A and B are shown apart, each in its own frame.
Chain A
Amino acid sequence: MTLKTLAAMALAGAMAAGPAMAELVIPDLSYRTGPYAAGGAPFSDGYQDYFALLNARDGGIGGEPVRVIECETAYNTERGVECYEATKGEGALIYQPLSTGITYQLIPKATADGIPLHTMGYGRTSAANGEVFNWVFNYPANYWDAASVAINYLLDENGGDLSGKKIALIYHNSAYGKEPIRTLEDLAAKHGFTLSQLAVDHPGQEQKSQWLQIRRERPDYVVMWGWGVMNQVAVQEAANIGFPMENFIGNWWAGAEHDVTPAGMAANGYKSLNMNPVQDYPVLAEIKAQVHDAGNAAGDGSNLGSVLYVRGMYAAMLAAEAITNAQEIHGVAAVTPAMVRDGMEALNITEARMEKLGMAGIGPEFAVTCENHGGSGQGLLQQWNAADRVWVPLTGFITPDASVIDPLIAADSAAFAAENNITPGCM
């Protein structure tokens, strides 16, 4: 084949392809394999299915189709960074790292590359200070909010007084698991309860020592910061020692269906935090009809409506709303990552908007500002009904104690700014 023939073929191919269609590229750093797959798959299904719905129903966002690039991290930090590097060149608009470890690695990279990160309910808590972390957003809530929401719930349960009570924190012995300690210590000092801390080594398959200690010390409540197998074992061990399940509260990464089903009826009454009440949102029926029934589901369809599926869908909705905002602010449909950042900073999630999207009550109302990238910080309590195998929302959205959390965020973000020679300010 001569060079001339090759050139002619290339020209013909280019002409046949026609003009390239602009796309909104959204990477999905998922983990469907490895020890944490049971948590990663439903989140990714929800995240991707919502964008598939927008494509099927609305032709994308603002007329631009969405292209989701899924990249498998196996919940491994190195692979997460590889995924970021492999996908950012595709025109990635926003990243949801879905891991605190990956988030910490991506904060400097994404900041340098000018691509916004959304770390919903995980990652670096002090990223809520938008003047230091211009490119990182952790709305609607973070770990310190979660700790405070749990304590506020217990205050409500105890007539506003926790003095003299004993609360044990059982946590994954990692940066993630240690996140709430400082907040809980400050809250213990403020409300007069005793806090004991029990660390569980990764992966958490063996927790006999910790639960024997809980049995000896008889705390009034146990709060858990667990992930993966640690959750299932903890729920089983709590049942084994006869700890009252209604006094056992997990955070929102310890409150999915698969965290409680292995323990069977013994898990009945276990409570956890959540960002979204699990209920029958109209948007789920739309996804079923327009995505799943059309054979375009991201997974096998079995996760539709589960706790982590709803959370993934909610994260996708927040990303889509930010893109819509960016399109309105800048007057173009084919937005850039910097424009999406502007859209995120101008996000205003109202009840009316959520209802219009078929997700009434899925999350708290909140507005993002340059100073506050963390949202309202609200969360709710849910309780496991083992007989019906459903999570039942117990409360409305509970507001965290800003008087404790805000100074912690200010101090931590100031330290980060000093270490990294950042002059705080709005972009």
Chain B
Amino acid sequence: MSADFLYGIEVVINGMMAGVLYALVALGFVLIFKASGIFNFAQGVMALFAALTLVGIMEGQVPFSHLINAVFGTNIHNFGWEVPALLAILLTLVVMIVFAWAVQQFVFRHLVGQAPIILFMATIGLAYFLEGVGDLMWGSDIKTLALGLPQGGSIWVEDLTSGFGGADFYGFFIDKLDMVATVVAAVLVICLIIFAQYTKQGRAMRAVADDHQAALSVGISLNFIWVLVWSLAGLVALVAGIMWGAKSGVQFSLSLIALKALPVLMLGGFTSIPGAIVGGLIIGVGEKLFEYTIGAPFLGGATENWFAYMLALIFLVFRPQGLFGEKIIERV
């Protein structure tokens, strides 16, 4: 097989891995949109906040230390202990659940019945608020996420596949972190599906997603379900924050990963968990393959962001609800 063809396969594999990471971010959007009709602009910032909180807890950092020191003239930064990774993850989850409760209690409870655009605007405000609070709590420096996740190309895969081509083929490159992210994403999706299908709360969540008023009429608490959904979105944000933060360090540009999720949502549909996964894979493979075959050789490169949105736009023209979205028919 020619090296070009083999490298094309390598690009497809890496595109799928990248797509999984995009899907991780998109999942958080889908969960909230499906249950409450809110397009949560703050999902990217939630990933950032969750990752910042995780590192802060692991390192024993005093929250708001910069503010405390500025006001009281003290010089405290650390508690002097370090928290094991697993416990820190659980504590971060608790923080995200408290955040979910606070969002429901102080923001969306007061906006029940408002138009979707109002709810969307509220999430924009929430994004700015959360970014500012994250900065005040944990500082704006870049943090290293020391979870011990594997990094680097898999030598085993490279050695195994290097004989597929000639001397100009060096074997497939697959990042070990991407492999871990794929497994974690798969486990997460399976857990979410099991939760939604086989637990009482999961079924209640689906009932709310189908019809708010019908769910209310059978005694389901909308307030509880929305806190639950925001908490699950917080969990997904934490996983996305860990995977993306392991690549680049935990820093404020993590909030921009939401931009990678938008074409995935447009393609996969805003209400479908499988849609987010398949959309992520299509966008990931599509943008990487386009860059490899056309973008880099003929257009000067850096076509990935552009192509992802173009692909989503094409899908919108032919299937506005996305691949797996619900078709909405309204009588006029």
What residues make up the interface of A, taking CB atoms closer than 8 Å to B?
32-38, 41, 173, 197-201, 203, 205-206, 208-210, 212-213, 215-216, 228-229, 232-233, 236, 239-242, 258, 261-262, 264, 266, 295, 300, 302
The answer to whether B11 touches A209, judged by C-beta atoms less than 8 angstroms apart, is yes
Provide 15 A-B residue pairs closer than 8 Å at the C-beta atoms, listed in order of the A residue.
A35-B251, A37-B135, A38-B142, A38-B251, A197-B300, A201-B302, A201-B305, A203-B256, A205-B248, A206-B304, A209-B296, A212-B14, A240-B152, A262-B249, A300-B69
Q: Which residue of B lies closest to A40 (CB)?
A: B140
Interface size on B, residues (CB 8 A): 47
Give 1 or 0 for each of B140-169: 1 = CB within 8 Å of chain A CB: 111011000001110000000000000000
**Bound Cα distance A212, B7 (Å):** 9
Residues of A within 8 A of B244 (CB): 205
B278-316: which have CB < 8 Å to A? 288, 291-292, 295-296, 300-302, 304-306
Please give the distance in Å from B176's CB to the nearest CB on chain A. Answer: 8
Partner of B7, one of A198, A203, A216: A216
Q: A209-B288, A209-B291, A233-B248 are in contact. List 19 more A-B contacts (CB 8 A).
A: A32-B140, A33-B252, A37-B135, A37-B252, A38-B251, A41-B140, A41-B141, A205-B256, A205-B257, A209-B292, A209-B296, A209-B301, A232-B249, A233-B247, A239-B151, A242-B152, A258-B249, A261-B142, A302-B141
Please give the distance in Å from B299's CB to the nearest CB on chain A. Answer: 10
Q: Quick check: is B34 within 8 A (CB to CB) of the other chain?
A: no
The answer to whether A198 touches B301, judged by C-beta atoms less than 8 angstroms apart, is yes
Partner of B253, one of A229, A236, A240: A229
Please give the distance in Å from B38's CB to the nearest CB on chain A. Answer: 25
**Bound Cα distance A206, B7 (Å):** 19
**Bound Cα distance A217, B48 (Å):** 35
The answer to whether A208 touches B288, judged by C-beta atoms less than 8 angstroms apart, is yes
What residues make up the interface of B, taking CB atoms closer than 8 Å to A?
3, 7, 10-11, 14, 17-18, 66, 69, 73, 77, 132, 135, 140-142, 144-145, 151-153, 170, 173, 175, 244, 247-249, 251-257, 260, 288, 291-292, 295-296, 300-302, 304-306
**Bound Cα distance A399, B244 (Å):** 40
The answer to whether A261 touches B288, judged by C-beta atoms less than 8 angstroms apart, is no
Residues of A within 8 A of B291 (CB): 209
Residues of A within 8 A of B173 (CB): 212, 215, 240-241
Residue in A35, A173, A201, A261 with the greatest tally of chain B CB atoms within 10 Å: A35
**Bound Cα distance A208, B13 (Å):** 11
Please give the distance in Å from A68's CB to the nearest CB on chain B. Answer: 17
Residues of A within 8 A of B302 (CB): 173, 199-201
Q: Known contacts being A205-B257, A262-B142, is A199 close to B300, with CB within 8 Å?
A: yes
10 A-B pairs with least C-beta separation: A262-B249, A199-B302, A35-B253, A37-B140, A229-B253, A173-B302, A199-B301, A258-B142, A209-B291, A38-B142
The answer to whether B152 touches A266, judged by C-beta atoms less than 8 angstroms apart, is yes
Residues of A within 8 A of B296 (CB): 198, 209, 213
Residues of A within 8 A of B7 (CB): 212, 216
Residue in A41, A233, A242, A262 with the greatest tally of chain B CB atoms within 10 Å: A262
Residues of B within 8 A of A210 (CB): 301
Q: Known contacts being A233-B248, A261-B144, is A201 close to B151, with CB within 8 Å?
A: no
**Bound Cα distance A148, B180 (Å):** 41
The answer to whether B248 touches A34, judged by C-beta atoms less than 8 angstroms apart, is no
Residues of A within 8 A of B14 (CB): 208, 212
Please give the distance in Å from A41's CB to the nearest CB on chain B. Answer: 6
**Bound Cα distance A173, B7 (Å):** 24
Residues of A within 8 A of B170 (CB): 215-216
The answer to whether A33 touches B135, judged by C-beta atoms less than 8 angstroms apart, is yes
Residues of A within 8 A of B252 (CB): 33-35, 37-38
The answer to whether B248 touches A229, judged by C-beta atoms less than 8 angstroms apart, is yes
Please give the distance in Å from A189's CB to the nearest CB on chain B. Answer: 19
**Bound Cα distance A418, B97 (Å):** 61
Residues of B within 8 A of A302 (CB): 141
The answer to whether B151 touches A35, judged by C-beta atoms less than 8 angstroms apart, is no
Please give the distance in Å from A398's CB to the nearest CB on chain B. Answer: 29
**Bound Cα distance A37, B132 (Å):** 12
**Bound Cα distance A278, B242 (Å):** 32
**Bound Cα distance A156, B37 (Å):** 62
Please give the distance in Å from A45's CB to the nearest CB on chain B. Answer: 12
Residues of B within 8 A of A41 (CB): 140-141
The answer to whether A203 touches B253, judged by C-beta atoms less than 8 angstroms apart, is yes
Please give the distance in Å from B270's CB to the nearest CB on chain A. Answer: 22
Q: Known contacts being A199-B301, A209-B296, A209-B304, is A240 close to B151, with CB within 8 Å?
A: yes
**Bound Cα distance A300, B65 (Å):** 10
Please give the distance in Å from A65's CB to the nearest CB on chain B. Answer: 23
The answer to whether B144 touches A264, judged by C-beta atoms less than 8 angstroms apart, is yes
Residue in B18, B255, B256 with the greatest tally of chain A CB atoms within 10 Å: B256
**Bound Cα distance A284, B278 (Å):** 55
Residues of A within 8 A of B304 (CB): 201, 206, 209
Please give the distance in Å from B281's CB to the nearest CB on chain A. Answer: 14
The answer to whether A295 touches B73, judged by C-beta atoms less than 8 angstroms apart, is yes
Residues of A within 8 A of B3 (CB): 216
Please give the distance in Å from A332's CB to the nearest CB on chain B. Answer: 37
Q: Known contacts being A205-B248, A206-B18, is A33 close to B140, with CB within 8 Å?
A: yes
Please give the distance in Å from B34's CB to the nearest CB on chain A. Answer: 26
Residue in A236, A264, A302 with the greatest tally of chain B CB atoms within 10 Å: A236
**Bound Cα distance A201, B256 (Å):** 12
Residues of B within 8 A of A199 (CB): 300-302
Please give the distance in Å from B22's CB to the nearest CB on chain A. Answer: 9
**Bound Cα distance A212, B293 (Å):** 13
Residues of B within 8 A of A209 (CB): 11, 288, 291-292, 295-296, 301, 304
**Bound Cα distance A239, B153 (Å):** 9
Q: Which residue of B lies closest to A37 (CB)?
A: B140
Please give the distance in Å from B274's CB to the nearest CB on chain A. Answer: 23
The answer to whether B253 touches A228, judged by C-beta atoms less than 8 angstroms apart, is yes
Q: Which residue of A lies closest to B306 (CB)?
A: A201
The answer to whether A197 touches B175, judged by C-beta atoms less than 8 angstroms apart, is no
The answer to whether B73 touches A229, judged by C-beta atoms less than 8 angstroms apart, is no
Please give the distance in Å from B254's CB to the nearest CB on chain A. Answer: 8
Please give the distance in Å from A296's CB to the nearest CB on chain B. Answer: 12
Please give the distance in Å from B29's CB to the nearest CB on chain A. Answer: 17
Q: Which residue of A lies closest to B289 (CB)?
A: A209
Q: Known contacts being A229-B253, A300-B66, is A205 close to B247, with CB within 8 Å?
A: yes
The answer to whether B175 touches A240, judged by C-beta atoms less than 8 angstroms apart, is yes
The answer to whether A261 touches B247, judged by C-beta atoms less than 8 angstroms apart, is no
Please give the distance in Å from B293's CB to the nearest CB on chain A. Answer: 11
Please give the distance in Å from A76's CB to the nearest CB on chain B. Answer: 13
Q: Known contacts being A35-B253, A232-B249, is A239 close to B18, with CB within 8 Å?
A: no
Q: Known contacts being A173-B302, A206-B18, A206-B260, is A240 close to B153, with CB within 8 Å?
A: yes
Please give the distance in Å from A295's CB to the nearest CB on chain B. Answer: 7
